[in-house]
Amino acid sequence: MTELNLIIDGQQIAAERGMTIFEAATKAGIYIPSLCAHPDLSPSGECGLCLVEIEGEPEFAISCTTDVAENMVLHTDTPQLRQKQHEVLEKILSEHPNACLTCWRKERCEPFDICLRNVAVTERCVTCPENGRCELQKVVDYLDIGIATIPYKYRKLPINRDNPFFDLDYNLCIACGRCVRACQDLRGVKALDFIELNGYRVAGPIRGNHKDSGCKFCFTCVEVCPTGALVDREARYQTISDWEAYVVPCRQACPAHIDIPRYINFIAQGKYSEALAVIREKVPFPGVLGRVCVHPCEQACRRSQLSEPICIKFLKRFAADYDTGLWKQNAKVAPPTGKRVAVVGSGPAGLTAAYYLAKLGHSVTVFEALPQTGGMTRVGIPAYRLPREILNAEIEEIEKVGVDIKTNTKIESLDSLFEQGYNCVFLALGAHRGTKMGVDGEDSPGVIDGVDFLRQVSLGEEVTIGEKVAIIGGGNAAIDCSRTALRLDAKEVTIIYRRTRAEMPASPEEVEEALREGVKIIFLAAPTQVSVKDRHIELECLQMKLGEPDASGRRRPVPIRGSEFTMEFHNVIAAIGQAPEVPAQFEIELGRGNVIKTNSETLATNREGVFAGGDVVTGPASVIGAIAQGRQAASSIDSYLGGNGIIDESLISADEPDPWLGTDGDFADRIRAHMSCLDISQRLADFAEVELGYDEATAEEEAKRCLRCDLRLKLSSPMLPPVKVKSA
């Protein structure tokens, strides 16, 4: 590129041939007033404010559409120029509420103050959601238009609220064209254009509403709008403390903060290995999570407000299923540090911590009391949901970085570990003890603890149950017990739950599959007594009704007097909760529910050098929650051992995503991709995986439903006017 020399306001600068004056000035840090210019958009000159004087030229030039020339001498702030800019700005303000912008009291007013001048609300800024953040306000202040009365007549245009995400107030539109150019030229969606409304030229959807116009709801138009014409509905009149978390809610909702939009975009492009690399930057169990994650990200997904959320969990599984090993090319293990860490428990929290600590160069040994690794992912989740070959393969990858796992090894003393030379201990014991029902007769023969039941089946131990089985509980463990019982030849399985289906903590999709397999559910009932009669169990229950919400936010079940009823079963499986078992000799401070008390930021316990995480700290929660705590523990332990605590890694180059979205007429109406499952007739004979996964075409189409909220964060910020210091 040829460099040209020019002078702006006495400052000599160099600019590339083909640059506009506005671009050259902005690059040099020289502000030129504008409301239509944006660094990511092509120039238009719509606002007419970015005027400059060119020495030797009789007329002012529009700087965003005029190219630089060699030895050009420019002025951006002269009395004549300022007067012309005032005229242009007054024309803009004549069609925009301006009473506050030009009022002598504007710096004293707070939002929603009563106007002492009795100006109509429709002419004021204090009720505008962009008040204080508005570029128009800043430009008016910079140009110092002074105290003036600029005629304005309320245009009585409607506010477009035709979508769930943002409002378009045509009365505040200054027709700068930013949103139109962003939609057409930057995103290629072409849902917006200039339209005529009641005789006024404004920007709006080309077919009356955003959905029919093909809007993809990427929020780019909202982000580039210089006034309050386009605003987030959720963010109106409130300060967002973490803007990135607000803009990309799925990533924020993920406990491990996986870059969800990035890997979904890779899948949409057919780059499956790159997608897996992104996932593996944060978690060592992509295949496990793709099958059993409780997916809080999907609950946060904005697409759910339009139709249905993206199938984020299933797309994660798809990426893991199509693993080519690309992620390994950039995976690194640091040189040995000479530090040794003992991890007690080989569940997702323990193995995750072990994995990242080993990659940081520490020598890590995992001690597991059970004969097989995996913790509750192995002995608490049935194989029809999580095939053992998937779990085994991901644990093998953890071992490959140097983690030593010792099974059938129960740790009885923490002191002995320190005596063996370990510098630090991480307790990831899980929550393997079932909760008692608290009713008479629950220790009778035929009454089984749900945690024990799932563990025995998972470890291949002999388990005998009768034809009629009752399951007590409403969580995922209860659903797992019910579907497992069917696979062990139970003929009739009934879940008894004390609330309604709406309050069930179990994943809705798991409940649905249980019902399809033939499980019956009795809602609003709770057991009160167990007795054995003629080799049958008589289960006495009481009907319930829902009262006020309890600490969980769910409505409290209240017994209905005189509503007792009795049912007969061969077995009753209690799956109402779990709790950790922490040996007293560990001398660890415990909290309610027998969980270990830790520092919430470091996961350190009351004992020096001892950390804890996962279900033993949180109580029974989720695999992704345990993985997140494993990551947190690895970072804290590394810092404790003298490291920097940085466990994040980059497994794929950080290329910027393609900003082009293109047109797609039925985008808003697209529904979630269906997950193919084994036929009911094939399921109950064994523990074969029920969900069969996506094929390539299905995965790519599902990924293309993403709103691409993250693109909003990639937009550049326009140069704002310097804040003028007020004279005393």
- What is the structure's pLDDT at 106? 72
Q: Which helix (H) or strand (E) holds 353?
A: helix 348-359
Q: What is the DSSP letter of 586?
A: G
Task: For residue 464, count CB atoms less than 10 angstroms from its CB and return exposed for 0-12, middle for 13-18, buried for 19 or more.
Answer: exposed
Average pLDDT over residues 597-623: 97
| CA–CA dist 599, 604 (Å, integer) | 5
Give mean pLDDT, residues 627-639.
Answer: 99
CA distance 371 to 310: 38
How much is the mean pLDDT over the chain?
94
Question: Cα(429)–Cα(431) distance, rounded to whole angstroms?
Answer: 7
CA distance 271 to 200: 46
Say what the pLDDT of residue 728 is.
44
Task: Summarize pLDDT for 446-464 with one digit per residue, the tens.
Answer: 999 999 999 999 999 999 9
CA distances in angstroms from 102 to 90, 97, 174, 463, listed in the order given: 10, 10, 17, 81
Q: What mean pLDDT do residues 576-595 have? A: 96
Query: Domains plus CATH for the chain?
Result: 3-93 (3.10.20.740), 245-329+671-704 (1.10.1060.10), 332-432+580-640 (3.50.50.60), 436-577 (3.50.50.60)
- Report d(CA 36, CA 194) in Å as an integer: 14
Parallel, antiparallel or unpaired: strands 571-574 and 468-472: parallel
| DSSP 8-class letter at 722 | P
* Residue 239 pLDDT class (50, 70, 90 cuts): confident
Element (H, E) at 544: strand 536-549
**How does pLDDT run across 378-398, given as a tens digit for each residue?**
999 999 999 999 999 999 999
- At residue 82, does pLDDT exceed 70? yes
Confidence class for position 1, pLDDT limits 50, 70, 90: low
Q: Which two tokens stand for residue 31?
A: 């502000």
Is residue 207 pLDDT above 60, yes or no? yes
Residue 449, strand partner residues: 574
Q: Is the pLDDT reported for residue 124 higher than 80? A: no
Q: Is the pLDDT of residue 340 over 70?
A: yes
> Do residues 258 and 283 make contact, with C-beta atoms less than 8 angstroms apart?
yes
Express each pLDDT in 270-292 by its tens digit: 999 999 999 999 999 999 999 99
pLDDT band at 2 (very low <50, low <70, confident <90, very high): confident
Which pLDDT score, from 0 to 100, does residue 726 have? 56
Spatial CB neighbours of 702, under 8 Å, sequence gap ≥ 6 = 310, 311, 314, 315, 672, 673, 694
Measured torsion, CA atoms of residues 692, 694, 696, 700, in degrees rounded to the nearest 10: 180
Element holding 61 (H helix, E strand) = strand 61-62
Q: What is the pLDDT of residue 24?
A: 96
pLDDT at 725: 58
Report the run of H or E that residue 275 belongs to, with start and end. Answer: helix 272-280
Residues 378, 384, 390: CA angle, nearest 5 degrees: 55
Number of other residues whose CB lies within 10 A of the CB of residue 374: 25
Question: Whole-angstrom Cα distance, residue 463 to residue 449?
Answer: 12
Separation of alpha carbons 68 and 22, rounded Å: 9
- Beta-carbon count within 10 A of 708 CB: 23
- Where do the H-state alpha helices sit in 590-695? 615-618, 623-640, 680-683
* Strands 424-427, 571-574: pairing kind: unpaired
Across 338-358, average pLDDT: 99
Q: Would you say 406 and 368 are in contact if contact means Cβ atoms under 8 Å apart?
A: yes
Give 238 or 341, the one with higher predicted confidence. 341
Q: Measuring CA to CA, which residue among 409, 384, 405 is closest to residue 395?
A: 405
Report in angstroms the alpha-carbon separations of 456 from 376, 381, 620.
Answer: 12, 12, 19
Cα 566 to the center of its chain, rounded Å = 46
Q: How confident is the model at residue 550 (pLDDT cuts 50, 70, 90)?
A: confident
Q: Mean pLDDT over residues 621-648, rounded?
A: 98
Does residue 387 come out as left (phi exceeding 0), alpha (psi in the -120 to 50 range) or beta?
Answer: beta
Rounded Cα distance, 280 and 326, in Å: 11
pLDDT surpasses 50 at 545: yes
Q: In what helix (H) or strand (E) does residue 51 lie, and over which residues does it extend?
A: strand 51-54
Using alpha carbons, select from 195, 197, 217, 196 the residue that is nearest to residue 206.
Answer: 195
CA distance linking residue 437 with residue 439, whole number of Å: 6
Q: Which helix (H) or strand (E) holds 159?
A: strand 159-160
Could you report the per-residue pLDDT of 659-692, keeping only the tens digit for each?
Answer: 999 999 899 999 999 999 999 999 999 999 999 9
Nearest-angstrom CA–CA distance, 492 and 63: 79
Residue range 144-167, pLDDT digits in tens: 887 667 888 889 999 999 999 999
Rounded to an integer, the average pLDDT of 337-356 is 99
Torsion angle in degrees (nearest 10) through CA of 263, 266, 272, 273: -70
Residue 116 scores a pLDDT above 90 = no
- The 10 Å Cβ neighbour count of residue 90 is 15
